[in-house]
Amino acid sequence: MADVLALALPFFGVIFLGFGCGRFSRIPESGLAWLSFFIIYVALPALFFSLVARTPFRELTNGGFILATTLSTATCFALSLGVGLWLRRGNVPEASIAAILGSYANVGYMGPGLTLGALGAAASVPTALIFVFDSLFFFTIVPVMMAIGGRDRRGFGATLLLVARRVLTHPFNVATFLGVAAAYVEFHPPQAMERMLEFLRNAAAPCALLTLGVSVALRPMDRLHGEVPVLIAIKLLLHPTLVFVVLSAVGAVVGGFPPVWIATAVLMAGLPPALNAFIMARQYDTYVEAASGGVLIGTVVSVATVTTLLYIVQHDMLPAALFMP
């Protein structure tokens, strides 16, 4: 247990250090701008490129794994959307942001550092695949739902163009696509470039976690919306359980997945709601307070749930298989 705490507490410690800085300092939110730019456009892209580029190309085309993890995320989104539509009285834009709270894990800021720290370099490929395809799903579904709900007044064609542009130009996805190309041609960066990439990727996790803590601290939360606890339960409890079950079922058909891939997927699914829930809420000017509160509460509760998942993973307590091939 001491080893698990030694791994988990630094991650959450940096988040809550950032939270304390955000609560007690008088620095305006605009002070995060350059640090956020560095994280999103420099440090994390360097991390994702390095992870993918050093991976054998054949491992990057595991369709069964991609299908299982993305289907699990989409299922949690649909369930959370139903909860949101029920409790928000059919308000599609608000329900869509609620669905993000219940399904979009913090796979960008927390995912790589946690999975690689817990499982080593073997977790790099499933981490990158989950990030890319979960992002593709949310960058596609959210604009479509907002168009349906009347928040995005573009035409259908303009919405599709917007989705394509966001998917193709997001720095995380660009870095991953370049990494895939590098893996395909077996490109190895020169030593000087490799050392610079290493320098940048080592900065990614601590900067991202500190920024997450500060960002959560600066969000308003005057009251807790009634559906938020249900959404947090879907995100932190149902999502990792569903990923494990679906991976086991698909694995029985395709011949199984490496245990480290399953452990990585479970850990990624068990992460708290992504800060993107608040960012998208503010972008569409809907459900902002509830999204802020959901990210904050989900992050606090995940201290217990993620630590438990780490203990289960590190002690090989996940069942080998639920279904016979």
Mean pLDDT (whole number) for 156-164: 72
Contact 66, 135 (CB under 8 A): no
Q: Considering the chain, what percentage of its residues have pLDDT values greater than 70? A: 94
Mean pLDDT (whole number) for 161-187: 81
CB atoms closer than 10 angstroms to residue 181: 14
Report whether pLDDT(325) > 60. Answer: no
Contact 7, 202 (CB under 8 A): no
CA angle 169, 277, 112 (to 5 degrees): 65
Report whether pLDDT(1) > 70. Answer: no
Q: Cα–Cα distance between 188 and 201 in angstroms, integer?
A: 16
Specify whether the backbone of 285 is left (phi greater than 0), alpha (psi in -120 to 50) or beta.
left
Specify whether the backbone of 287 is left (phi greater than 0), alpha (psi in -120 to 50) or beta.
left
Contact 115, 254 (CB under 8 A): no
pLDDT of 61-97, one tens digit each?
889 999 999 999 999 999 999 999 998 888 888 999 9
pLDDT of 284-303, one tens digit each?
788 887 887 888 889 889 98
Q: Give residues with Cβ within 8 angstroms of 44, minimum separation 6.
A: 108, 112, 171, 172, 175, 204, 208
Name the CA radius of gyration of the chain, rounded. Answer: 19
Mean pLDDT (whole number) for 8-15: 82
More confident residue, 313 or 155: 313
Report whether pLDDT(305) > 90. Answer: yes
Report whether pLDDT(148) > 90. Answer: no
pLDDT of 248-263, one tens digit each?
999 888 888 999 999 9
CB atoms closer than 10 angstroms to residue 316: 9
3-class secondary-structure state, position 303: helix
3-class secondary-structure state, position 110: coil
Number of residues assigned to the chain: 325
3-class secondary-structure state, position 222: coil
Least confident of 27-36, 215-224, 269-278: 215-224
3-class secondary-structure state, position 41: helix
Spans of all domains in the chain:
2-23+33-314
CA angle 318, 321, 324 (to 5 degrees): 170
Read off the pTM.
0.82
Residue range 2-23+33-314, CATH number: 1.20.1530.20
Among 66-70, 143-147, 180-184, 321-325, the range of highest mean pLDDT? 66-70
- Transcribe 212-249 into DSSP letters: HHHHHHTS--SS--TTHHHHHHIIIIIHHHHHHHHHHH
Contact 5, 307 (CB under 8 A): yes
Report whether pLDDT(310) > 70. Answer: yes
Mean pLDDT (whole number) for 215-239: 83
